[in-house]
Amino acid sequence: MLDPRYAYMSAYLKAEEPKTVGGNHLDRLSRTTNVTDALGIIRETDIGAYLEGTTIRGFEDIDRALWTYFAERIAYIEAFKYIPGDMRRVSRSFVIKYDVSNVKATLQGIITGEKTPLIPIGAICDEGFLDDLNASETIQDVADVLTQSRLPDFVPAIKAYDPAGGVKAKIAVESRLEGEYYHQLLKTASEIREGAVLGNAYGLVIDLVNLGIVCRAVVEGIGPAAGDYLIADGYILSEKSLRDTLPYKLTDIPRRLDSPQYRDIANEIASAYDKSKSVTVIDEVIEKHKYATLRALLSPRALSPLVMAWYLILKEIELRNLRLLLKAIYDGIAVEEVKRYLLL
C-alpha cells in the first residue's frame, strides 16, 4: 500500500507549481525597462511576494535575496513532518551541486585573486563553513572545508588539482567534481522508489555534460587528453564514441556521433560557437537541453520521490530566468537580447 505521505507531499508540491514565474510572466518581463515594473509583474507569484518584503538597492541585493529565497524554500519543505525519507534524500543529494559550484568559484578565486559571492545552499552552508570556504587561500584550505562539511568524497579531486596546470587542470578538476556529484546522485536514485526513472534522467544529463566537456576541450585545443575527464555512467553516449571525437574540429563532432539526438545538439553547439566565438555558448546550449530532458522525464511524475526532484529543478529554472532578466534590466541591456538564454 502506498504511503499516504507521498500523496500529501505530491499534492503540496504540485500546488506550488502555478505559483512560479512562468512563460506569461517572462513575456511581460521581456518588455519591461525598470526593476520596479518587473517586480510588479511577478508580485502574484511566491517569489515575487518574497521580494516585496526585501530591501533592494541594486542587483547584488536582489541576487542575494533570490538565492536566500531558494535556500529557505528547500529548508522549509525538508522540515515537513510528513515528508518521506527518500524525498528528503533526493533533495539532500540534489543540492550538493551548489557545493560543487561554490568550490569551483573558490578555486577560480584562488587563481585570479578575485572572490565571487558564494551561493548559500548546500552541505557546506548547512554545516556553517561557507565563510571559511570563501576565505580559503590554498587548495588545502578548500580540502579542509570539504572534510569538515562531511563531503570527503570530493577531497581527492581537490588535492589532485594543480593551478599551475592551466586550462587542462581546470577542466580536469571540474569534471572530477562533477563526476563525484553525479555518482552520488545515481547512488541515491538506485536506493529510492521509482529510482530507475531518476537514474535514467541523471544518465542523460551526464551524456550532455560529457558532450559539453568534449566540445570545450576541442575548442580550447586540449584534444585526446580530455578523454580522461569524461564522467562515467552516461546513458546513451559511450566513452569510446566521445573519445573518438576529440582529435577533430568542433564542426566534425556531430557526424561522428551515433545518436541523432546528440548529433543535433552538437550541431547546435557548433553553429552557436561559429557565430559568437565564445566558449560560454557551449554551456548555454547544454543547460537548455539538460533542463528540457529533466522536464520531459520528471514533470509528469506524481506520488513519487521524483516530485521533489522536479520541484527543485522547476524552482532552479525560475531563479535562473529571473536572475538573467533582472540583471539585464539593471545593466541597461535590452531584455530581448537575453531572451534566447531563458529556459521555458
- Please state, in angstroms and rounded to a whole number, the distance separating the CA atoms of residues 44 and 24: 12
Amino acid, single-letter form, for residue 301: R
* Gyration radius (Cα) of the chain, Å: 20
CA 296 to chain centre: 17
Pick the CATH number of 1-84+305-344 from 3.10.20.30, 1.10.132.50, 3.90.79.10, 3.40.50.2300: 1.10.132.50
DSSP-assigned letter for residue 53: T
DSSP-assigned letter for residue 44: T
Please count the CA atoms within 13 angstroms of the CA of 18 that sit on its side-chain side.
Answer: 3
Spans of all domains in the chain: 1-84+305-344, 195-300
The tens place of each residue's pLDDT in the chain, 344 residues long, gives 568 899 999 999 999 999 999 888 988 888 888 888 999 999 999 999 999 878 888 889 999 999 999 999 999 999 998 899 999 999 999 999 999 999 999 999 999 988 889 999 999 999 999 999 999 999 999 999 999 999 999 999 999 999 888 888 988 899 999 999 999 999 999 999 889 999 999 999 999 999 999 999 999 888 888 898 899 889 999 999 999 999 999 999 999 998 999 999 999 999 999 998 889 899 999 999 999 999 999 998 888 899 999 999 999 999 999 999 999 988 888 877 787 788 87
Closest alpha carbon to 118 in 172, 67, 154: 67
The 10 Å Cβ neighbour count of residue 188 is 23
Instruction: Report residue 333 as a C-alpha cell.
Output: 541591456
Cα separation values, 296 from 11, 16, 18, 234, Å: 19, 19, 18, 18
Q: Are 9 and 308 in contact (CB under 8 A)?
A: yes
- Please state, in angstroms and rounded to a whole number, the distance separating the CA atoms of residues 157 and 155: 5
Which ranges in 34-154 belong to alpha helices (H)? 35-41, 46-52, 59-78, 85-94, 96-112, 123-126, 130-134, 139-148
Q: Are 116 and 108 in contact (CB under 8 A)?
A: yes
Closest alpha carbon to 295 in 322, 308, 313: 313
The 10 Å Cβ neighbour count of residue 139 is 18
| Strand (E) or helix (H) holding 317 | helix 306-330
Query: Model pTM?
Result: 0.91
